Amino acid sequence: MEVSKGKVVTLHYKVADAEGSFTESSEGREPMTYLHGYRNIVPGLESEMRGKSPGDSFKVSVAPEHGYGPRDETAVQRVPIKHLVHPGKLAPGRAVVVNTSVGQRQATILKVGRFNVDLDFNHPLAGKTLEFDVEILEVRDATDEELAHGHAHGPGDGHH
């Protein structure tokens, strides 16, 4: 069975940015499962998946505009520490959750002051070209429930 819209795909992956400062891999863990055609993975990878079959391995380089988008330098803001959810030990590079006027958002700490922190609201992979290394394990038809939800329901999926 080939990957197309409405198929559930199980795969192993490695991903790194071009500088090698970020790497993530499903190696030694459960493979990733996603519903194809519903923007559950970055567009540049999803478009390469189309037409592939179990057993296929491939590498793909995804530019920021087809990945997590370009960096927005205006998305860096100084925020009072009291607006952080579970501030804990604050240090540059740490990910935090912030209460904002539009609800809770994720950000990365750039600088810690006495009462404020400078936060970067960009996705950590924004502006980066990503090198994916993918091995497709399984392709199956999605269930009606998965299609209605717009995502795959895998083993160990505890979100319901």
Provide the binding-site residues for Zn ion, judged by CB under 5 A. 149
Q: How far is the CB of 159 from Zn ion (least distance, A)?
A: 6
Phi-psi region of 8 (alpha: psi -120 to 50; beta: other; left: phi over 0): beta
Judged by beta carbon, residue 89 or residue 159, the one nearer Zn ion is 159
For residue 123, what are the CA distances in angstroms to 34, 49, 50, 76?
A: 20, 23, 26, 11
Phi-psi region of 55 (alpha: psi -120 to 50; beta: other; left: phi over 0): left
Q: How far is the CB of 160 from Zn ion (least distance, A)?
A: 6
Q: How far is the CB of 148 from Zn ion (least distance, A)?
A: 8
Residue 25 CA to chain centroid, in angstroms?
12
Judged by beta carbon, residue 54 or residue 154, the one nearer Zn ion is 154
Judged by beta carbon, residue 26 or residue 40, the one nearer Zn ion is 40
Judged by beta carbon, residue 83 or residue 149, the one nearer Zn ion is 149
| Spatial distance between the Cα atoms of 44 and 140, rounded to a whole number of angstroms | 22
The residue number with the shortest CB distance to Zn ion is 149
Q: How far is the CB of 34 from Zn ion (least distance, A)?
A: 12
